[in-house]
Structure 1
Amino acid sequence: MLVTTEVQLESIILHKVGNKSRDEGVKLSRNELKLDGAVKELLLKYFLSPFKQDEYFNLHHESDINLNEVYAFCAAIFDNPETFQEQSENLARHLYEQSNHAKIKEGEFYVTFMKDLVVHGEAVDAVGVFKSESRETYLKVYPNGDNFDIDSEDGININKLDKGALIFNTDRYKGFMVATVDTLNKGNEAQYWREEFLRLKSREDIYFHTRNMMDLCKTFVEEHMPEQFEVTRVDQVDLLNKSVSFLREKETFNIQEFQNEVIAQPDLIESFQEYKAQYAANNEIPLYDEFDISATAVKKQSKFMKSIIKLDKNFHIYVHGNASDIVKGYDEEKGMHFYQLFYREES
C-alpha cells in the first residue's frame, strides 16, 4: 500500500516532449519550477492520487539492468540529487526517442524527486515521471463592474493524470520498485510508455503470485477442462465461484488445501496438476504451491472470472453460488435446451 500523507516534493522540472515521427522535438527547461505551497499540493494530488493499485513492477533489461536508461538516470538522481536537472533532460530525450507511434500526442513531461513516500511500511525516496497529453475546456466566471462575464480556457484536469510512474529507491539490484498508470491509451500506442520507455516486468510479490494463480484457474476451467472432460457451463461457473471464494476467505494459499476443497475430484486434480506445470513453462512464470494472498489482486482479478451463463442472445444467468440449484435439460418437443432454477425468495 502506498501512503503519501508525508511526502516531500524536493525537486520538479517541466519539459515538453513531442512525437518523434512528426519531428515535434523536445523543449527542455533550464531551471526547476519554483512553486508556492498551494500549487505544490495541487500537483502532488495530480501526480499521486491515481496510484491506488498494489501492483508493482521492476525496470528490466535482457542482459544488464544498467543498460535500462530509466534505471541509469534514476540511479544517478538517487546517488547524487544535484544531477537532477541533467538526468531529467536525459529522461525527456529518452521518452522522445520512444515516441514514434502516430497516435502519441505531444505533452508536458514532469520529472520530480520526492522524499518520504511510504510503500509497504517503509519511507523511501522516489523519482516521479509524469506526462499530460489531454486538454479540457473550462469556463471562467469573473465580476465586471455590476455584472459578471464568462470566458473559456483550455487546461489540465488535475483529477485525470494521463501517464505516470513512480520509481522507488528500493529493490535497486532487481531494477527498483515501480508503480505506473496510463489512463489515456489502452491500445498498441500505450506500449511505448510501459514497454519501450520504462521497460517493465512484473515484480514477484504477493500480488504477482495471486494474480498468476487466478489466471491459471480461469484458463484451466474455461479452456482446458472442456477439452479433457464432459462439463457444462454450470460446472465451470461453479468451479470459478469456488476458486474466488477460497481466495477471498484465506490469507495464505496452499495448493493441497485448494485441490482438496475446491477441485475435489481425483481425476480433475491430476489434470489440474499437469496443466499447472504446462502453464508455468509456457508462460515462463513461477507458480508457487504456497504464498500469502493479495486481497487487492483477488478483488481486481475476480472481475474477469465471469460467473455468467449466456443463452443465445436472449438471456444471461448470473450464478453466485449453489450451482446444485440449477438443472439443465432438453425439451424434445421444442427441440431446445433449458435450465430449471430453484429458489426460495424472489426480490
Structure 2
Amino acid sequence: MINLFNTHIETLSIHRVGNKSRNEAIFLSGQSTNLNDEVVPLIKEYFFRPFREKEENYFQFAHEVDLEYNDMFKLATEIFENPSNLHEVSKKITTHLFEQSNHPHIKNGEVYVAHLTNVNIDNNVVDAIGIFKSELQSDFLQFEEKGTSLEMNLQHGINLSKLDKGCLIFNYKKEEGYKILTVDSNRYDARYWLEHFLSVDAFEDENFITKKYLKFCQGFAKDVVFPSEDKKEEVMFMNRSVNYFAKNDQFEESNFLSEVLDNPDLLPEFKNYKVDKGEKYSIEDVTSFPIANSAVTDARKSIRNIISLDTQIQIKMDFINPESAEKYVEKGWDEEKQMYYYLVYFNKEVKN
C-alpha cells in the first residue's frame, strides 16, 4: 500500500513533446520549475489523486535480456543515485518519450518529471520519481474589469481535475526492476505508455498473486460450479474462498481445496481447470504464497454475492457469515407451479 499524504516535491522539471508523425517539435526547458506555495497543493493533488483512486496494480521495469538494457530503468537509477541531476535526466526521459510518439493518435502535451521524497510504500519511507503527462486542454473563461463592464476572455489550459498519464517509480525493490504504479486515462494507444515508453511487466508480488488466484477462483465458480450445481453454490464457493483468504496469512492449495470444495466430485474439475486456465491467470505453477490482505479486501468489494432470479427477485448472501446461507437457505422444486424456489428461514426482519 502507498501513502502520499506527506510526500514532498523536491524538484520538478516541465517539458513539452509533440507527435513525430505530424512533425511536431519537442521543447526542453533550460532549468527546473520553481513552485510557489499557492501552486504546490494544487499540483500535488493533480499528480497524486489518480493513484489514490485506483487499485494498486504494481509494475516493474523489464527486458527480455537484462534490466540494464531497459532505458527507463537506467534513467530512474541515475536520478535515485544523484537526485540533484534530475533536470538533466528529465530531458533524456522526455526525449525518450518523444521517440515513442509515432502513432498518429498520440497527442502532444506537457511532460512533468519530479523527484519526490517521504513516500510511504509497504510501510517503508522512500523517495520516488513521478512522470506525468497532460494531453487534453479545456476551454475556460477569464473576466477582466474594463470601465463599467466585465470583459470575457476565452482561454485554453490544463484541467487540474484529471491527469491524462502518469507513473510513480518507487526507489524500492530495485533488483526486481523497482515497484511502479501507472495510470492512463486516454487509452487511444495502450501500448504507447506502458510498453513503448516504460517497458514494464506486472510486479508479481503477493498482492499480484492473491488477486490473480481469486480471479481464477471466480472463473472456476462461473464456468464449473454454476453449470455443475447452481447459482447458490457458485456464490457459496466464492464466499468460502474469500473467507479462507481473509483468515489465513499463508495460502496452501491443498488446505484451501479441503475447506472450500463441499462436493468432492469438483476436485478433479478444479485441477483440470487449473491446467487449462492457469496460464491465463498467471497461477499455473502456484500452490503456496503469502496472502496480501489488501488484495482480499479489494476482491471482497468486487465479487458479486447475489443470486439473481428471472422473477426479478435478488437474494443477497453474506460473505462475513457464510454459515447463515448454509443453514437458513434451501433450494427446492414446486411440482404444482413447475418452478424452483428458495426457502429462507429467519426469526425477525432487521431494519436496514
Q: Pick the TM interval, shorter chain.
A: 0.7 to 0.9
SS of structure 2 residue aligned to 1:27: coil
- In structure 1, list runs of 5 or more residues that go unmatched: none
Corresponding residue of 2:238: 240
Partner residue of 1:275 out of 273, 276, 279: 273
Corresponding residue of 2:292: 293
Once the 2 structures are TM-superposed, how far is the Cα of residue 60 of structure 1 from its aligned partner? 0.9
State TM-score, norm by structure 2.
Answer: 0.83
Q: Which digits, 9 at most, give the CA deviation of each residue in 1:56-79, with x for residues without a partner?
A: 221111111111111111112222
Amino acid at match of 1:327: K
Amino acid at match of 1:242: R
Amino acid at match of 1:213: Y
Is this contact kept in 1: 2:251–2:287, CA < 8 A?
no
Mapped partners of 1:316, 1:175: distance in 2: 50
Once the 2 structures are TM-superposed, how far is the Cα of residue 157 of structure 1 from its aligned partner? 2.6
Once the 2 structures are TM-superposed, how far is the Cα of residue 309 of structure 1 from its aligned partner? 4.3
Partner residue of 1:307 out of 305, 308, 323: 305
Corresponding residue of 2:184: 182
SS of structure 1 residue aligned to 2:24: coil
Q: Would you say how many aligned residue pairs link Structure 1 and Structure 2? A: 339
Corresponding residue of 2:322: none
Q: Which digits, 9 at most, give the CA deviation of each residue in 1:190-249, with x for residues without a partner?
A: 2321222112222222211210110110111112446xx732223212212332333344
Inter-CA distance 223–25: structure 2 relative to 1 (3 Å threshold): farther
Amino acid at match of 2:105: K
Inter-CA distance 315–141: structure 2 relative to 1 (3 Å threshold): farther
Mapped partners of 1:148, 1:49: distance in 2: 35
Q: Which digits, 9 at most, give the CA deviation of each residue in 1:268-311, with x for residues without a partner?
A: 2343244335544555545242413332x223334543334455
Partner residue of 1:325 out of 325, 329, 341: 329
Inter-CA distance 159–288: structure 2 relative to 1 (3 Å threshold): farther
Inter-CA distance 304–49: structure 2 relative to 1 (3 Å threshold): closer
Task: State, as a whole percentage, how many aligned pairs show the same letter.
Answer: 32
Mapped partners of 1:70, 1:132: distance in 2: 19
Is this contact kept in 1: 2:62–2:70, CA < 8 A?
yes
Amino acid at match of 1:315: Q
Give runs of aligned pairs for residues 179-218 of structure 1, distance below 5 A. 179-185=181-187, 189-218=189-218
Mapped partners of 2:185, 2:246: distance in 1: 28
Once the 2 structures are TM-superposed, how far is the Cα of residue 256 of structure 1 from its aligned partner? 4.1
Inter-CA distance 230–41: structure 2 relative to 1 (3 Å threshold): closer
SS of structure 2 residue aligned to 1:195: helix
Inter-CA distance 343–66: structure 2 relative to 1 (3 Å threshold): same
- In structure 2, list runs of 5 or more residues that go unmatched: 319-324
Mapped partners of 1:12, 1:307: distance in 2: 46
SS of structure 1 residue aligned to 2:129: strand
Is this contact kept in 2: 1:17–1:106, CA < 8 A?
yes
Mapped partners of 1:95, 1:332: distance in 2: 70
Q: Which digits, 9 at most, give the CA deviation of each residue in 1:79-104, with x for residues without a partner?
A: 23344233212211222232334432
Is this contact kept in 2: 1:50–1:161, CA < 8 A?
yes
SS of structure 2 residue aligned to 1:266: coil
Amino acid at match of 2:305: S
Is this contact kept in 2: 1:254–1:291, CA < 8 A?
no
More deviation, 251-260/195-204? 251-260
Mapped partners of 2:313, 2:135: distance in 1: 39
Is this contact kept in 2: 1:11–1:32, CA < 8 A?
yes
Once the 2 structures are TM-superposed, how far is the Cα of residue 262 of structure 1 from its aligned partner? 1.9
Mapped partners of 1:244, 1:177: distance in 2: 26
SS of structure 2 residue aligned to 1:90: helix
Once the 2 structures are TM-superposed, how far is the Cα of residue 117 of structure 1 from its aligned partner? 1.6
Mapped partners of 2:350, 2:119: distance in 1: 50
Corresponding residue of 2:260: 262
Amino acid at match of 2:106: I
Once the 2 structures are TM-superposed, how far is the Cα of residue 15 of structure 1 from its aligned partner? 1.4
Inter-CA distance 182–341: structure 2 relative to 1 (3 Å threshold): farther
Is this contact kept in 2: 1:209–1:288, CA < 8 A?
no
Inter-CA distance 303–202: structure 2 relative to 1 (3 Å threshold): same
Corresponding residue of 1:75: 77
Once the 2 structures are TM-superposed, how far is the Cα of residue 156 of structure 1 from its aligned partner? 2.1
More deviation, 23-32/61-70? 23-32
